[in-house]
Amino acid sequence: MKVTIALILLLIAGGAALGFVTYQTNVNNDDDTHINILDIISEVRQLDSTINTLILKSRYGLIPDYDELARLTVNLRERFNDLKATPLSKYATQNEEINTYVTDFNEQLKLKIDLIENFKSHNAVLRNSIKYAPRLGDTLIAQVEKDGKQKAMTQLKIINNALYRWALYNESDEARIIEQNASSILDLQNAVKDEVALLEYSSHLAAVVSEQEQTQRYIQSALDVPTDTTLNRLDSTYIAYHLDVVKEASKIRYYILGYALLALAIAIYLGSMLKRSYSRLEEKVEDRTQQISTAYEHLKESQEQLIQSEKMASLGQMVAGIAHEINTPLGYVNNNVAIVRDSFSSMHDTLKHLGVIYKEAKQKPHNSKKINSTLISALKQYRTLENDDVINEASELLDDSNHGLDEISELVNNLKNFSRLDRQSAEYFNLHEGINATLKIAGSTLKHHNVSVVKDYHDLPDIECIPSKLNQVFLNIITNAAQAMPESGGNLIITTELEEDGVRIIFKDTGEGMSEETRNKIFDPFYTTKPIGEGTGLGMSISYKIVKSHHGKIEVITGEDVGAAVVVSLPLAQPEHNDDG
C-alpha cells in the first residue's frame, strides 16, 4: 500500500516537473511559425533594399513621385511590427542577443525613416533649384553678354557651367566652385540690370549648394544605417536560437518519452499488484463464503432445533395442562367405579336369593317354608341395601363418572380443535372458537396462575387463516400473560372487534407489564425474560412471523406495572397470491 502511494506520488511529481520544464522552455517550434518568422525577416530585408533603390532613384530624379517610397516605408514598419505577434518577441525576452538586434533594428528603422523623410524634403527642393538655377543663369548670361559686361559674363559662366556639371556628375570640385562664387554673385548688381532675377539666382545657388550637401548627407546617412547588417544578425541569431530551442524541445520529448515509459512501468506494476490482490481477495471471499455458509447451516440447524424445542416445550406445557385436566375426572371416575364394584357384590348376593327362590318354586311340591325364609332373607338384604343407599349411590356415582368421561371427551375434542392437525391450509375460521379452544388448552396454566378470563367478544365474521397457527399465537400470548401475573393472580381481558378491513383481538392483562427494553425486543428471536432453560425466546418471534405471514400486525402496548396489551390485527381475507413474504 505504501509502495503504491509512493509510486503515484512519484508519477505526480514527475508530471509536475515535466510540465514546469515544458512551460519554462516555451517551445513553439512548429515549422509554419518558424518559416513565417523567416519570411517576415526576409520580406523586411527585401523592402529595406527596395527602399534603398528607390531613394537612390529619387536622388537622380528617376521616379516621378514619392508615393511608392512612402508606401514601402509604411509597409516596412508594419511588416517588422508583425514580428511582435510571433514567438520571436518571446525569444527576445529570453535571449539577450535577439533582444538587442530587435531593439537595434527598431531604432535604426526609426532613424532611417527620419533620414529618408529629410532626404525627400531636401531632394525636392534641390531638384527644383538645380533645374531652375542654370536656366536662370543662362538668361542672366545672355543679358550681360548683350550689355557687353565681359567680366560679369565670365564669372556667371564659370558658375553656371559648374552648376550644369554638378547637376550631372555631382562632383565636389564643382560644388566648391559654386560655393566660392555664390557669395560674390550679388557684387554683380552693377552689371546685371534685372536685380530681382539676380537675387533669385543667388538664392537658388545657395539652395543648390546647401540642399545638395544636405541631400547627399541624408541619403548617405540613410544608406549607412546598418539595418541590413542588423537584420542579418537577427536572422542568424534567431536561426541558431531556434535550433537550440528545437534541440531543447526534442530533449523534452525524450523526457516525456521517459516519463511515459516510467508511467507505463508503474501502471503495469500497479496492475499486477491489483491482479494479485484481486485473486487473493477472491480466495478470501471463497473462504469466507464457505465459512458463512457453514455457519449458516449450523445456525439453521440450531434454529430448527430451537424451534423444535420450542414446539416440544409448548407441547410439554400443553400435555402437562391436559394431563392435569384429564387426571381429575379420571381420578373420580376410577373411585366411583371401585365403589360401584364394591356395592355390586352385595347386590349380587341379593340377586342370588332370587335364583334360590326360582329353583324351590320349580320343585313339586313347593318347600314353602324355604321359599319364604329365602324371600325374607333377600328382602332383608335388599332392605339393608336400600337403607344403606347403595343403589342410589351407585347410580349417582355412575352419573358422576359419565360426567367425568364427558369432560375428558370434550378436552380431547378441544385438543383436536386447537391443533387442527387435519387442517394445515388456509380456511375460513371462527376466531372465537380458536380462542376458546386455546383457553381450554391453557386452562391448567391459567388456573395455576389464578387468572380469571374475561371475554369481551363482539360479532366477528369468519376470517381466512390457518387456524392451528393462529391458535399457537393465542396460546403464546395467553401463556405469557398468565406467567406475567403476580402470585395473587389477575384478570385477562380478551376483546375482539370488527374493524374496517379486518379484525382486532386485544389480550389485556393486569400483570407486571414490561420494561421498554423488553417491549422493543419482544419479537426478537431468542429474547426471553425467563430464567435460562425455561424459555426458548422464540415464542413471540414465531408469533410475529405467523401474524406477518397472515398479512396482519402484532404490537404490544405496555408500560411497567400497568399490565400489557397485545394487539393482533388480521385481515378478513388473504391476498390472492400469497407470496408468504
Partner 1 sequence: MNMLKLFISIISLTFYISAFAVEPIQPIPVIPYDKEKAALGKLLFSDVRLSVDDTISCESCHFLDKAGVDHVAKSIGVKGSINKRNSPTVFNSAFNFRQQWDGRASDLEQQIDMAMLNPRVMGMGSWKAVIKKVSSIDTYKERFKAIYGTEITAEQIQETIAEFERTLVTVNSPFDLYLKGDETAISEGAKRGYKLFKSYGCSSCHQGVNVGGNMFQKFGVLKDINLRGQLNIDLGRHNVTGNEWDKRVFKVPSLRFAVHTAPYFHDGSVKTLREAIDIMTEFQLGRKVPDEHKNAIMEFLATLPGELPEGAK
Contacts to partner 1 by CB under 8 A: 60-67, 69-71, 73-74, 77, 114, 117-118, 120-121, 124-125, 127-129, 131-132, 168-169, 196, 200, 203-204, 207
96-122 CB burial, b ≥16 within 10 A, e <16:
ebbeebbebbeebbeebbebbbbbbeb
- Spatial separation of the C-alpha atoms in residues 453 and 490, rounded to whole Å: 9
When the beta carbons of 117 and 393 are compared against partner 1, the nearer one is 117
Cell of 443: 386452562
Shortest Cβ 120–partner 1 spacing (Å)? 4
Pick from 302, 102, 127, 299: nearest CA to 211: 127
- Spatial separation of the C-alpha atoms in residues 436 and 458, rounded to whole Å: 14
Determine contact, residues 431/460, Cβ cutoff 8 Å: yes
State the DSSP code for 531: P
280 to 287, 292, 526: CA distances (angstroms): 11, 18, 37
When the beta carbons of 128 and 574 are compared against partner 1, the nearer one is 128
When the beta carbons of 125 and 572 are compared against partner 1, the nearer one is 125
Residue 430's Cα: distance from chain center in Å?
55
Radius of gyration of the chain (CA): 70
Shortest Cβ 78–partner 1 spacing (Å)? 9
When the beta carbons of 71 and 359 are compared against partner 1, the nearer one is 71
Q: Which amino acid is at 28?
A: N
**ω into residue 365 within 30 of 0, thus cis?**
yes
Shortest Cβ 36–partner 1 spacing (Å)? 22
Shortest Cβ 136–partner 1 spacing (Å)? 9
State the DSSP code for 170: -
Shortest Cβ 118–partner 1 spacing (Å)? 6
When the beta carbons of 204 and 521 are compared against partner 1, the nearer one is 204
When the beta carbons of 123 and 479 are compared against partner 1, the nearer one is 123
When the beta carbons of 38 and 70 are compared against partner 1, the nearer one is 70
When the beta carbons of 23 and 169 are compared against partner 1, the nearer one is 169
Shortest Cβ 264–partner 1 spacing (Å)? 43
**From the CB of residue 514, how many other CB atoms can be counted at a distance below 10 Å?**
22
Shortest Cβ 205–partner 1 spacing (Å)? 11
Shortest Cβ 9–partner 1 spacing (Å)? 43
When the beta carbons of 123 and 237 are compared against partner 1, the nearer one is 123
41, burial (CB in 10 Å: exposed 0-12, middle 13-18, buried 19+): buried
The per-residue DSSP string of 428-480 comes to EE-HHHHHHHHHHHTHHHHHHTTEEEEEE------EEE-HHHHHHHHHHHHHH
Shortest Cβ 128–partner 1 spacing (Å)? 3
381 to 77, 349, 370, 396: CA distances (angstroms): 167, 8, 16, 21
